A and B are shown apart, each in its own frame.
Chain A
């Protein structure tokens, strides 16, 4: 199971990103563990300054802006 973290201070784009990932995973029938990281120290710990960021199994795959659907499907 993939562990996916959405990094963001709770802004609307971060919510949208989390929702998009959830939908894409549900559509593909892939089980994921989705986590929202709002702690600044943790976000910067990943080296991300522009939110929302996405971390999959400990690897930053995206930073800054809402990712598009195709990209998300690529991660899954």
Chain B
């Protein structure tokens, strides 16, 4: 449906051809823009209607005081369904520390939450199919589990800023939610406005990059350098991806274009994960609560974990 609409606009109305570079890129851009934004609005509205989104305060309550393996499992699974704006990472970090949750578990949460979320998962399945989506989710969960575990070994507590330990958190009386249908509808519409308002730039940027890749990168070049899954393509993808920031949803069209041209799956997944999981801006925000050695380690641990996962997938495929 979306492809037909894009064909109508780009090929019939503008008179471009599918074999043409500009035509191919524009077609990709139009089809993906319509498809992704329609899906975004629908999913967020549905989630809002059922008030299905968890708050970090609730996650903290569930995770605190559990044995470490259970705390880590919960942090990762709940992290995957908790919408999380990187602007909240500082209060979240402090809140977890104050609850006595081990730092390694908090790191697991910080890895899982931006990388996997229900909105990105539904869109990923809609665009790249559910098999690849399952692989991405499994890979993300594994990276979050082992990444947090590895961080714990370095005893990152010693790098936490002193003031963090002194903060005492108050008890919040959770405000009662309006459960009438009118209230739910209002809440859901507001969620759509807020989340789409926050994400649209990243999504458009991702679609534009994907469209350029789709239209202008020659298949022969991809086949020669990126398709075989040569070992060095994975760490290269990770090194490029780690400092870059985009939202998990924004990465999807880029991955779509890469896979479409035949880039190896492990390389593509590693690229996606490294962009979504960590970024320079996020590190600068986290610097307020923890010192550079811990952040450098965090980046290194993640890069290694994602590289291993990428190699694994390239081996299987």
Contact = CB atoms under 8 A, between A and B. Distances in A.
Interface of A: 9, 11-13, 40-41, 43-51, 59-68, 70-71
Interface string B54-98: 011100100000000000000000000000010110111011001
Contacts of A46: 170, 172
A70 to B, nearest CB: 6
Contacts of A11: 85, 87
Given A41-B168, A60-B172, 16 more contacts: A13-B194, A13-B198, A40-B90, A44-B98, A44-B168, A45-B170, A47-B171, A48-B57, A50-B55, A50-B56, A50-B91, A50-B92, A60-B175, A65-B190, A65-B194, A71-B186
Contacts of A62: 175
Contact of A68 (B91, B169, B187): B187
Contact of B173 (A44, A60, A68, A70): A60
B297 interface: no
Contacts of A64: 55-56, 88
Interface residues of B, number: 31
Interface of B: 55-57, 60, 85, 87-88, 90-92, 94-95, 98, 163, 166-173, 175, 178, 186-187, 189-191, 194, 198
Contacts of A12: 87
Contacts of B163: 41
Contacts of B92: 49-50
B170 A47 contact: yes
B172 A43 contact: no
Contacts of A45: 167-170
Contacts of B172: 46-48, 60, 63
Given A44-B169, A46-B172, A63 B55 contact: yes
26 contacts: A13-B198, A40-B91, A41-B166, A43-B91, A44-B94, A44-B169, A45-B167, A45-B170, A47-B171, A47-B172, A48-B91, A49-B60, A49-B88, A49-B92, A49-B94, A49-B95, A50-B55, A50-B88, A60-B173, A61-B175, A62-B175, A63-B55, A63-B172, A64-B55, A65-B194, A68-B190
A47 B87 contact: no
